[in-house]
């Protein structure tokens, strides 16, 4: 089942750990990152006004990535065999961490704060999501269970 834009944003608000996918010739690579969803105006938002802020080490693969990237966040319910997935496709931009009010709005508070002094944001071009549900379980006494 497809998720609405609003549902996707709500799921992005509720977490701080996702994955960024970048292209590093010749392979696409995926890395876990701490993030912060940055929202401008909550009324009439569009994907272009949605930003995902991350911090990384200067010069690493994420910092050197081409402009076009993807970001993914998932939730899994193993007991009920279901879950959801949100995918953000957009452009990666370096930002000046010294800008006024920047740290309050954009700091994703990385779990590892060693030398992650490169501040980046993904400007969303497309935000999509899906809810995943398991197929119904056939009961042992059901005729369909024996066919």
Domains detected in the chain: 5-146 (2.30.110.10)
Query: The pTM is what?
Result: 0.79
Closest CA to 34 of 87, 113, 125, 103: 113
Q: Give the C-alpha separation, 26 to 67, whole Å.
A: 16
Q: Nearest to residue 39, comparing CAs of 128, 127, 130, 131?
A: 127
**pLDDT (tens digit per residue) in 76-134:** 988 878 899 999 999 999 987 676 565 666 665 655 566 667 889 999 999 999 998 87
Residue pLDDT, tens place only, 35-60? 989 876 544 556 668 899 998 888 89
């Amino acid at each position: 089942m497809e998720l609405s834009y609003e549902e996707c944003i709500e799921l992005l608000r509720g977490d701080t750990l996702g994955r960024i996918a970048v292209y590093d010739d010749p392979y696409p690579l995926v890395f876990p990152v701490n993030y912060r969803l940055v929202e401008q105006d909550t009324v009439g938002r569009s994907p272009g006004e949605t930003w995902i802020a991350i911090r990384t080490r200067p010069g690493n693969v994420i910092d050197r990535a081409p402009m076009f990237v993807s970001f993914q966040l998932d939730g899994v319910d193993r007991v009920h065999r279901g879950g959801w997935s949100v995918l953000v496709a957009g452009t990666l931009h370096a930002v000046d961490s010294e800008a006024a009010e920047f740290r309050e709005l954009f700091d994703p508070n990385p779990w590892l704060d060693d030398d992650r002094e490169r501040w980046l944001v993904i400007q969303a071009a497309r935000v999509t999501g899906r809810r995943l549900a398991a197929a119904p379980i056939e009961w042992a006494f059901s005729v369909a269970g024996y066919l």
